[in-house]
Amino acid sequence: MSELLLLPSLNAEQRADGTINVTGKFHTGVEAFASRWEGTVRVIMEPRAGGTENLDDTLVDPRELAWGLEVLPFEGAAFDRRMADAGVILGGLGHRQNGLAEKARELGVPFATTSEYTLTTRYQIAEADREPGPVGWLKSVRRKQWEAGQERANLRTVRAAAGVQCNGTPTYEAYAPENPNTLLFFDTRTRDRDVLGDAALEARLKRVAAGEPLKLAFTGRLDPMKGARHLPALGSALRDRGVPFEMSICGDGRDAEQMRAEIAERGLEGQVKMLGVLDFQSELVPFVKEQVDLFVCPHLQGDPSCTYLETMAAGVPIAGFANEAWAGILDRVAAGWRAPLGDVDALAARVEEAHHQRSILAERTREALRFAREHTYEKSFDRRVSHLAALR
């Protein structure tokens, strides 16, 4: 019986009682692999102290799982034995996995790698996280130099791998020329049963066509990487343009308090509401389906966030900055609008277009939903597991 060995880049905290702290999204993703793979599934995660910065941390007991889960460094004799015993290995790109594709090849075990962030996106993340002042600038320069070196290692892994699975178009376009067995998929938690139905879509579009104020929303981490700090300024720009709107901001993070203060300073409390963290399945999905006409996405970098496909599966188009990930989706489907990175007034202009051109808003809503139906959680994992199974 063939074993699929998963080596995620996400580290985990193992507690004294044996339970392991992982993200809920990761947990369900492994279950999706395990339910499809004809054989056993084992996961090895490197150790970390404390939880993650994600909003869905959860504790699991490895003894209660239908698949194996270990916290173990990606080095040493025990890890080497795990690699040698595997039928197929799915790893990732990152300095802790440099050389693993070559080692797997020596062991005669097919190694596939996943990818998410291009070098450009990693540079943009460094800029978003940069501290003010000369010390922050110097740290950013050093980080970019390190990332350039890591990209050379990434390319060696891609070329040595038996296959590559690219989350989003940016790394697909970068790495497909380097490996002939490259798969494109789009990250999402939306299952077939949760995609917006036609009747609900038409009911919302009827309200949109009536010319009511646009219901805008943003969901996600409120931190520099996601660009959420631009949302209060976007609210002001829309008000200055005379666009009737209501904006809901769902999530939490480092920028939350600053955003609340800025919303108050700009006098936007009546139009911009911060709703905090909503449970994805029971609260967030119904809210977006029923209460949102247009998603505003100020992501300043090309993180192939699951936000894109999950929003589109709710039948909601997106107006966002033209980072690599969103631009790549728009090149494939007319599911919204794009504005230059960081240009809040241009983003407001795109929202204004949607307000005045309700028939185009409806067309892009339907296109977003059509595309999302082709890339649901089930369909994406079916493609990924088939891709891996072909490596055996």
pLDDT tens digit string along 52-111?
555 567 888 888 888 999 999 999 999 999 999 999 999 999 999 999 999 999 999 999
Q: Supply the pLDDT for residue 54.
A: 58
CB atoms within 10 A of CB 101: 23
CA distance from start to end of the chain: 11
Residues 361-383 as b/e (b if ≥16 CB within 10 A, e otherwise) read bbebbbbbbebbeebbbebbbee
Residue boundaries of the structural domains of the chain: 3-190+377-389, 193-374
* Cα–Cα distances in angstroms (integers) from residue 162 to residues 23, 80, 96, 114, 169, in the given order: 28, 19, 19, 11, 20
Q: Is residue 51 very low, low, confident or very high in pLDDT (cuts 50, 70, 90)? A: low
170: Cα separation from own chain's centroid? 13
Distance from C-alpha of 379 to C-alpha of 381, rounded to nearest angstrom: 6
Show the tokens assigned to 86: 């595997």
pLDDT for the residue 59: 85
| Dihedral angle over CA of 227, 301, 13, 187, nearest 10 | 110
Instruction: Encode pLDDT of 150-203 as tens digits.
Output: 999 999 999 999 999 999 999 999 999 999 999 999 999 999 999 999 999 999
Topology alike, domains 3-190+377-389 and 193-374: yes
Model pLDDT for residues 214-246, shown as the tens digit of each residue: 999 999 999 988 999 999 999 999 999 999 999
CATH fold, domain 3-190+377-389, is Rossmann fold (3.40.50)
Q: What's residue 184's pLDDT?
A: 98
CA distance 293 to 284: 14
193-374: CATH, from 3.90.420.10, 3.90.1580.10, 1.20.120.1760, 3.40.50.2000: 3.40.50.2000
pLDDT digit string (tens) for 122-151?
A: 998 888 888 888 878 888 889 999 999 999
